[in-house]
Amino acid sequence: MNRDRFTRLSAQDAAAVVKDGNTVGFSGFTAAGSPKAVPRAIADFAKAEHAANKNFKIRVIAGASTGASLDEALAQAEAISWRTPFQASPTLRKQINNQQVEFIDMHLSHVPQSIEFGFIGKIDVAVIEATDITADGRVYLSASGGISPSLLRHADKIIIELNEYHSKRLCEMHDVAILPTPPHREAIHIFHPMERIGTPFAWVDPKKIVGIVETNEADGISEFSESNEACLKIAQHVVRFLVDETKAGRVPESLLPLQGGVGNISNAVFGGIGQCDDIQPFHMYTEVFQDTLLDLMESGRMLGASTCSLTLSDDKLRKMYDNMDYFAPRLVIRPQELSNNPGVIRRLGVISINAVLEVDMYGCANSTHVCGTHMMNGVGGSGDFVRNAYLSILVTPSVAKGGKISAIVPMVSHVDHNEHSLQIVVTEQGLADLRGLGPIERAKCIINNCAHPDYRDYLFRYMENSRMGHLRHDLGKVFELHENLLRNGQMLP
């Protein structure tokens, strides 16, 4: 099963396979597992074509956001016409909000089935980072699962970036499976975060492989900055809540599997959980595995984790690779159709902790659009977990921009998670437990516990002066805070 049967290509030769107007799928879930050399070469080719007054733009699909060598490089080359389902590139974000790039915001668990069922059309080319490939088509993925198995099945042409930087022992972590299409689906046999149902490799028809590009390059993920005071206070509130839930018997003493999103708040929360003696060692069923989680696993505070990607800084990833005897049995990397699968999340009783931009006083949340219009990154996987978790916890600082923006508003300017899904809201001010509360009581709970003191009077006055109903709203003033922000640079007059 010698991989030498495949043609070796330079990144430039591989880029030439991609044509103007193609839909190109890329591996990666965050920068973890994203190809590097080929997308940079595509960006360079696009710049040359544009300089010659030729058209060159492609449609881009990946598992989630990608590394700077992909989204940012292609965006700077003005080489993207369409993108789904999530991004974190400053240049691409600007192009999306200027309507230069068509962006499709999707729940991450929906992306593989959209490929499988043909909802987004034909995939012309896929560029997949791997640690190894065999002559019969076994592809051993690198630091993420993402949508790579589906891309390998459905793309017309395949380019493999064979990255020697990553440990070949990652195959010991991967659990690759593709679900059958309806009406032939059966129950997904994952009954514990560490249970495996698939193979350590993805598969591709060898005839589709155009060639292999050899690289040796880290993912380039930076360390998160130190947690600020607001993040630490949010962490304290979440930890206290989890301890109280276990004492009340609503959560087992060993907890339920935990999930956390990307960012400083998540790092702070899980750091706090790890330092709490009243919380026993736990498992995770999540989509990203970050630096703090590696430390918790090394210390024994985390027993094991299922994830979609190893979103680790370069130093932490190297530490993992140097200690694979310890870490390999404790981690499972899955495609996102499994890591974010609503049925598995519901069955395991996952406790989800995700950050949002704003929450309104009745419990709807916005995690994507500033003032209802400008996209930040996308809904990502938060909706998969918020809607289906045993406990859905949303976290955000109560204010931003030095107090000019309140995260608690009368009505969110864009709804990603509605009040039917959300149970717990946490800011540095406190925690609002919304379970069992009607709309008016929810509003009082959120305002009293989560709103910044500078905004509480305004929010209570708004509610008291609004039209009576099951909800109380004044449609003439419901977005007054947002309008003030756009007009004057701050929400309060």
- The residue written with tokens 């060898």 in the block is 206
Among 319, 309, 226, smallest CA distance to 267 is for 226
Q: Which two tokens stand for residue 242?
A: 């989890």
Neighbouring CB atoms inside 10 A of 448's CB total: 14
- Told to judge if 287 belongs to the known catalytic residues of this protein, a careful annotator would answer yes
Q: What angle do CA 16, 21, 24 make, to 5 degrees?
A: 65
Amino acid (1-letter code) at residue 408: I
Contacts of 444 (CB under 8 A, 6+ apart): none
Q: What angle do CA 359, 365, 368 make, to 5 degrees?
A: 110
CA distances in angstroms from 30 to 88, 102, 201, 289, 310, listed in the order given: 9, 20, 20, 11, 9
Among 396, 368, 426, smallest CA distance to 242 is for 426
> How far apart are the C-alpha atoms of 218 and 317, rounded to whole Å?
9
> How far apart are the C-alpha atoms of 273 and 353, rounded to whole Å?
12
Neighbouring CB atoms inside 10 A of 436's CB total: 8
Among 105, 124, 116, 106, smallest CA distance to 150 is for 116
Out of 161, 287, 358, 428, the active site residue is 287
The torsion of the CA quartet 225, 226, 228, 233, rounded to 10 degrees, works out to 120
Active site residues: 287
